[in-house]
Amino acid sequence: MKTALITGVTGQDGSHLADFLLAKGYRVAGMVRRASVDHHERISHLLDRITLVQGDLLDPSSLVRVLEEVRPDEVYNLAAMSFVPTSWAQPVLTGEFTALGATRMLEAVRQVCPTARFYQASSSEMFGKVREIPQTERTPFHPRSPYGVAKAYAHWITVNYRESYGMHASSGILFNHEGPRRGHEFVTRKISDAVAKIRLGLARQLALGNLDARRDWGYAGDYVEAMWLMLQQSVPGDYVIATGQAHTVRDFCRIAFSHVGLAYEDYVVTDPKMLRPAEVDSLLGDASLAREKLGWSPRVSFEGLVRMMVDSDLAILSSRLPRSPERA
């Protein structure tokens, strides 16, 4: 039985990856940071099957202790400050978590378990103001946010530890991936949640920023398989993971509202406060290398993803509504 350590296990991807690895027969440990109140909603269904260990990307000694306790065969470094707008409000902390956090983790692995395989959660946000369309593993980076800059650093330090120390360290350059477990501040979940609220009479309007931004959106459940596949290769490497199709925020709205019989134009307003100081206008990935070398391809379509998220939010909100007298 192999042992995996997931940092960021309480996040969207961490929870999907834990599900995936448990199904593969792994012993799974998840690193969590101390909080005055536990927020384990995304992993509540598997708390009796995984081990939680306390550590923080800011504290190197805690990472060493976690690795000594878990002794992992595979380390998935998913923890980060992952919301792009917050990276302008907290640029230094974003660098500490998202950039230097990766170095602290790599250094701890090098000290404690240098033969463990390491996965770094890199991002299409590194392409930023894109230099070519579509983006591949060879496309130069031009990040447009403190978050993107921090991820570019973390990507290169992963490459550097592979080249300097011969570590089995891989970097997955993942394009946006979403699903019912997505945080509410990201645009897809903000839309699916608002559509469900409007359908149920709980809200009347949805304020968004740039409706023309284009993203290559996939399903998170499909993308965690690619992370695992990277660590099963005899040679480590860097891979773009994407669907190869881009849609606008407006497309997402159109499909989400029409799924519940509404027209988005009647409810969506734009609010300049949601615009970013520097926008990533359009991302489109070419995952040919992952398809050829890893045998990976996405399963869930864009329309299927939008419908899955709206249906999930409708079910969550409906279950919280007071029961009508007829149903009581």
Q: How far apart are the first and last CA of the chain?
A: 49
Residue of 29, 70, 79, 230 interacting with ligand NAP (CB under 6 A): 79
Scan residues 188-217 and list those touching ligand GDD (CB under 6 A): 188, 190, 208-210, 213, 215
53 to 27, 29, 44, 68: CA distances (angstroms):
13, 7, 15, 11
Which does residue 210 touch among ligand GDD, ligand NAP, none (CB within 5 to 8 A, set by kind)? Answer: ligand GDD
Cβ–Cβ under 8 Å, residues 305 and 178:
yes
Q: How many whole angstroms separate alpha carbon 201 and alpha carbon 322? A: 13
Q: Minimum distance between the CB of residue 235 and ligand GDD, rounded to whole angstroms?
A: 25
Active site annotation includes 219? no
Which does residue 57 touch among ligand NAP, ligand GDD, none (CB within 5 to 8 A, set by kind)? Answer: ligand NAP
Quote the strand ranges of 164-237, DSSP E.
169-174, 177-178, 206-208, 214-215, 218-219
Site string for ligand GDD, 167-186 (x = CB under 6 A): --------xx--------xx
Which does residue 40 touch among ligand GDD, ligand NAP, none (CB within 5 to 8 A, set by kind)? Answer: none
Residue of 87, 139, 176, 188 interacting with ligand NAP (CB under 6 A): 176
Active site annotation includes 123? yes
Sign of the C-alpha dihedral computed for residues 105, 107, 113 and 118 taken in this order: positive
Which is nearest to 79 in space by CA: 102, 59, 62, 63?
102
- Which of the following is catalytic: 15, 62, 87, 125? 125
Active site annotation includes 171? no
ω into 134 cis (within 30 of 0) = yes
Q: Cβ-count burial of 37 within 10 angstroms (0-12 exposed, 13-18 middle, 19+ buried)?
A: exposed
Q: Minimum distance between the CB of residue 78 and ligand GDD, rounded to whole angstroms?
A: 10
CA-based radius of gyration for the chain:
20
Q: Minimum distance between the CB of residue 328 and ligand NAP, rounded to whole angstroms?
A: 37
- Which residue, 186 or 267, is less far from ligand NAP as judged by CB? 186
Binding site for ligand GDD (CB under 6 A): 82, 84, 123-125, 175-176, 185-188, 190, 208-210, 213, 215, 249, 274, 276, 279-280, 283
Report, as residue numbers or ranges, the catalytic residues: 123, 125, 147
